[in-house]
Chains A and B, each alone.
Chain A
Amino acid sequence: MDEKVYKVRKPISDKIFSVIVVVFLALFVIITLYPVLNTVVLSFNDGIDAVRGKIYLWPRKFSIKNYKTVFGMQNIWVGAKVTVGRTVLATITSLIANALLAFVVSRKKFLFKSQLSLFWVITMYVNGGMIPVFLLYKNLGLTGTFHVYWIPGMISAFNMLVMRTYMEGIPESLEESAQLDGAGYWTVFLHIISPLCKPVYATVALFIAVWQWNSWFDAMLYNRMKTEYTTLQYELMKLLSSVMQQSGSAENAKNGANTITPVTIRAAATVVTMLPIVMLYPFLQRYFVTGLTIGGVKE
Chain B
Amino acid sequence: MNFKKIKALLLSSVLAASILAGCGGGGNAAAPAADAADTTADAADAGSDASDAGDTAADTAASGDVKEFTMFITMPGSEINDDNEIAQMIADKWGVKVKETWLTGQTASEATGTLIAGGEYPDFIDSDEMNLLVDADALIPLDDYIDQYPEFKETWFTPEEWEKFRQPDGHIYWINPFGNTKGETKDTTHNDEAFWIQVRVLEWAGYPKIQTMDEYFKLLEDYIAANPTMEDGTENMAYTILCEDWRYFCLENAGQFLGGYPNDGSVIVNKKDMKIEDYNTSEDTIAYFKKLNEEYNKGFVDPESFTQTYDEYIAKLSTGRVLGMVDQWWDFAYTVNDSFKQTGLDQKGCNYVPLGLTTEAGMENRWHTYDDTVNQASGIAITTDCEDPDAAFKFLVDCAMDQELHDLRFWGVKGVDYEVDDDGLFYRTDEQRQNWADTSYQAAHRCQYSYFPQWHGTSRDGKNANKPEEQPSEFMNDMAKPLKDCFDAYGVTTYPQLIGSVQETNGPWFPMYSYSNNFTTETPGGVAWAKMGECKHEWLPKVVMAKDFDKGWDEYMNAYNACKPEDFLAEMQEILDTFK
- A residues with a Cβ closer than 8 A to B are 47-49, 51-54, 65, 68-69, 72-75, 77-78, 81-82, 85-86, 88-89, 92-93, 96, 130-131, 134-135, 138, 143-144, 146-147, 150, 216-217, 220-221, 224-229, 234, 237-238, 241-263, 265
**Do B113 and A51 have beta carbons less than 8 Å apart?**
no
Set A52, A74, A86, A254: member contacting B82, Cβ < 8 A: A74
| Beta-carbon nearest neighbor of B247 in chain A | A248
Set A54, A146, A150, A257: member contacting B41, Cβ < 8 A: A146
User: 12 pairs across A/B with beta carbons < 8 Å?
Assistant: A53-B319, A68-B440, A74-B83, A81-B40, A85-B34, A225-B122, A227-B52, A228-B41, A228-B52, A245-B103, A256-B454, A258-B334
For A65, the chain B residues whose CB sits under 8 A away are: 440
For A217, the chain B residues whose CB sits under 8 A away are: 105
A244 to B30, CA, bound (A): 38
For B109, the chain A residues whose CB sits under 8 A away are: 247
**Whole-angstrom distance between the Cβ of B374 and the nearest chain A Cβ:** 11
Q: Give the residues from 280 to 336 in chain B that come closer than 8 angstroms, CB to CB, to chain A.
A: 310-312, 314-316, 318-319, 328, 330-331, 334-336
A229 to B39, CA, bound (A): 11
A29 to B26, CA, bound (A): 44
Chain B 232-249 against A: per-residue CB contact (8 Å), 1 yes, 0 no? Answer: 000000000000011101
Q: Is B517 an interface residue (CB 8 A)?
A: yes
Set A49, A53, A241: member contacting B312, Cβ < 8 A: A53
**Known contacts A143-B118, A225-B70, A251-B375; is A89 also within 8 Å of B30 by CB?**
yes
A258 to B342, CA, bound (A): 21
Which of A226, A241, A250 is the most central at the interface, judged by chain B CB atoms within 10 Å of its CB?
Answer: A250
**Do A72 and B444 have beta carbons less than 8 Å apart?**
yes
A244 to B443, CA, bound (A): 21
Closest 9 CB pairs of A and B: A85-B37, A53-B315, A69-B440, A242-B76, A257-B77, A72-B440, A255-B178, A256-B450, A52-B318
For B52, the chain A residues whose CB sits under 8 A away are: 227-228
**Whole-angstrom distance between the Cβ of A62 and the nearest chain B Cβ:** 14
Set B45, B245, B311: member contacting A53, Cβ < 8 A: B311
**Do B118 and A81 have beta carbons less than 8 Å apart?**
no
A89 to B37, CA, bound (A): 9
**Do B330 and A253 have beta carbons less than 8 Å apart?**
yes
**Do B44 and A225 have beta carbons less than 8 Å apart?**
no
Set B72, B339, B450: member contacting A48, Cβ < 8 A: B339
For B311, the chain A residues whose CB sits under 8 A away are: 53, 243, 263
A217 to B330, CA, bound (A): 30
Set A72, A246, A248, A252: member contacting B443, Cβ < 8 A: A72
**Whole-angstrom distance between the Cβ of B370 and the nearest chain A Cβ:** 15
**Do B517 and A73 have beta carbons less than 8 Å apart?**
no
7 additional A-B pairs beyond A146-B34, A261-B78, beta carbons within 8 Å, are A74-B81, A74-B83, A227-B51, A238-B104, A241-B76, A251-B378, A257-B78
**Known contacts A237-B104, A241-B105; is A75 also within 8 Å of B79 by CB?**
yes
A62 to B51, CA, bound (A): 35
A255 to B511, CA, bound (A): 15
A216 to B105, CA, bound (A): 9
**Whole-angstrom distance between the Cβ of B229 and the nearest chain A Cβ:** 17
Q: Is B101 an interface residue (CB 8 A)?
A: yes
A82 to B43, CA, bound (A): 12
A281 to B179, CA, bound (A): 53
For A147, the chain B residues whose CB sits under 8 A away are: 34
A60 to B51, CA, bound (A): 39
- B residues with a Cβ closer than 8 A to A are 26, 30, 33-34, 36-38, 40-42, 44-45, 48, 51-54, 70, 72-73, 75-79, 81-83, 99, 101-110, 113-114, 117-118, 122, 128, 178-179, 191, 245-247, 249, 265, 310-312, 314-316, 318-319, 328, 330-331, 334-336, 338-339, 342-343, 373, 375, 378, 438-440, 443-444, 448, 450-451, 454, 513-514, 517
**Do B339 and A86 have beta carbons less than 8 Å apart?**
no
**Whole-angstrom distance between the Cβ of A163 and the nearest chain B Cβ:** 18
**Do B439 and A265 have beta carbons less than 8 Å apart?**
yes
**Whole-angstrom distance between the Cβ of B33 and the nearest chain A Cβ:** 5
A60 to B450, CA, bound (A): 34
**Do B514 and A251 have beta carbons less than 8 Å apart?**
yes
**Known contacts A228-B44, A228-B45; is A249 also within 8 Å of B246 by CB?**
yes
For A89, the chain B residues whose CB sits under 8 A away are: 30, 33-34, 37
For A52, the chain B residues whose CB sits under 8 A away are: 315, 318-319, 339, 343
For B26, the chain A residues whose CB sits under 8 A away are: 96
**Do B106 and A220 have beta carbons less than 8 Å apart?**
yes
A96 to B22, CA, bound (A): 14
**Do A257 and B451 have beta carbons less than 8 Å apart?**
yes
Set B37, B77, B336: member contacting A259, Cβ < 8 A: B77
A262 to B164, CA, bound (A): 38
**Do A228 and B51 have beta carbons less than 8 Å apart?**
yes
For A234, the chain B residues whose CB sits under 8 A away are: 104
**Whole-angstrom distance between the Cβ of B143 and the nearest chain A Cβ:** 25
Which of B26, B33, B191, B247 is the most central at the interface, judged by chain A CB atoms within 10 Å of its CB?
Answer: B33
For A258, the chain B residues whose CB sits under 8 A away are: 330, 334
**Whole-angstrom distance between the Cβ of B434 and the nearest chain A Cβ:** 10
**Known contacts A49-B342, A146-B38; is A248 also within 8 Å of B246 by CB?**
yes
**Do B41 and A259 have beta carbons less than 8 Å apart?**
no
**Whole-angstrom distance between the Cβ of B477 and the nearest chain A Cβ:** 19
For A144, the chain B residues whose CB sits under 8 A away are: 54
| Beta-carbon nearest neighbor of A227 in chain B | B51
**Do B315 and A51 have beta carbons less than 8 Å apart?**
yes
**Known contacts A89-B37, A262-B439; is A257 also within 8 Å of B73 by CB?**
yes
For A138, the chain B residues whose CB sits under 8 A away are: 118
**Whole-angstrom distance between the Cβ of B136 and the nearest chain A Cβ:** 13
A169 to B48, CA, bound (A): 53
**Whole-angstrom distance between the Cβ of B439 and the nearest chain A Cβ:** 5
**Do B107 and A246 have beta carbons less than 8 Å apart?**
yes
For A221, the chain B residues whose CB sits under 8 A away are: 114
Set A51, A131, A263: member contacting B114, Cβ < 8 A: A131
**Do B328 and A254 have beta carbons less than 8 Å apart?**
yes
Set A131, A143, A150, A263: member contacting B113, Cβ < 8 A: A131
| Beta-carbon nearest neighbor of B511 in chain A | A251
**Whole-angstrom distance between the Cβ of B445 and the nearest chain A Cβ:** 11
A147 to B82, CA, bound (A): 24
A76 to B199, CA, bound (A): 44
For A262, the chain B residues whose CB sits under 8 A away are: 439
